[in-house]
Amino acid sequence: MTHHFSKRLPGVVGLVLVVVIVLCAIFADVLVPRNPTAQSLRDRMKPPAVELSNGSTAWLGTDHLGRDILSRIIKGAQVSVSVAASAVLISGMVGTLLGLISGYYGGWFNTIVMRVIDIQLGIPIILFGIAWITLFGAGLFSVILVIGVWGWVKYARLVHVMVLSLKERQFIQASRALGATDLRILFRHIAPNLLGPVIVLATLQIGEAVLLESTLSFLGVGIRPPTPTWGSMVADGRGYVDTAWWIAVLPGAAIGLFVLGSNLFGELLRDYLDPKTE
């Protein structure tokens, strides 16, 4: 029992990290102690737990414009989580549908989908994101589309391989012999068997989506100021690491904790949804 619990402990820790950050994102407008975009040059680059000129305490310090780091991290969580969740939903739906159709029917459609996947995998993701933002402009919606369009290939490849195996199973052959339509076979018999692996992949992809959004914002081609994002906060603080380390390190730690949490939670889900991996 102790060994079993210790094996699950990292996944539970990951779940706690994800839940805490998601709750902060949901209730960000209530939790922020100060306006995350309010500037105060008298309070610029104050270290953590220092009293400000208005009598309040900046528990995580302030940045080079006197903005409260804690408030910006909480508000940044709202942006990052909403972008990641929306992008993963888009990529999951598109990739799963294309993987289902290409794996089941094969033929010319399967050839086209596989070639598009090969081409996209040959393009560096950052280059793809920068090119997209350059063509279509920056902003919340554009960043969501970038990550969503990029992420569908992993779902398509996973689902494609699983469908190739599932469609030859006896229960599928029996359904076909009984006169079941292709649509019924796809969505009634095959799709439910894909649910577990797709959920695990989505959980892992959320952390990757947050990392990509932060990278784009860090490079200045993501979500525009004054909207606080973890990536832009790290970019703001990179020139002050020697004198005000908290400006860059603390939002960077938030990114790391969320990515770590999503990965650990994804591993836990995989163990539960696919016991054969244990």
* Per-residue pLDDT at 278: 46
pTM reported for the whole predicted model: 0.89
* CA 105 centroid distance within chain: 31
Does the pLDDT value for residue 275 go beyond 60?
no
Structure-model confidence comparison of residues 178 and 237, the more confident one: 237
CA torsion, points 132, 137, 143, 147, in degrees to nearest 10?
Answer: -10
Q: Output helix, strand, coil percentages for the chain, rounded to the nearest 5.
A: 75, 0, 20
Summary mean pLDDT of the chain: 88
Report the distance separating Cα 235 and Cα 274, nearest Å: 40
pLDDT 10s digits, 141-196: 989 999 998 889 999 999 999 998 888 888 887 887 877 787 888 888 888 888 88
pLDDT 10s digits, 57-86: 889 999 999 999 999 999 999 999 999 999
Residue 187 DSSP one-character state: I
Q: 3-class SS at 58?
A: strand
* Per-residue pLDDT at 28: 94
Provide the residue type at 192 as one letter.
P
Kindly list the domain boundaries of the chain, sorted by start residue.
65-277
Report the distance separating Cα 221 and Cα 274, nearest Å: 39
Report the distance separating Cα 232 and Cα 222, nearest Å: 9
Per-residue pLDDT, averaged over 212-227, amounts to 87
Q: Is the dihedral of CA 113, 141, 222, 131 positive or negative?
A: positive
Q: 3-class SS at 22?
A: helix
**Residues 51 and 41 sit within 8 Å (Cβ to Cβ):** no
* Per-residue pLDDT at 85: 93
Superfamily (CATH) of domain 65-277: MetI-like (1.10.3720.10)
On the 0-12 / 13-18 / 19+ scale of CB atoms within 10 A, 134 is exposed
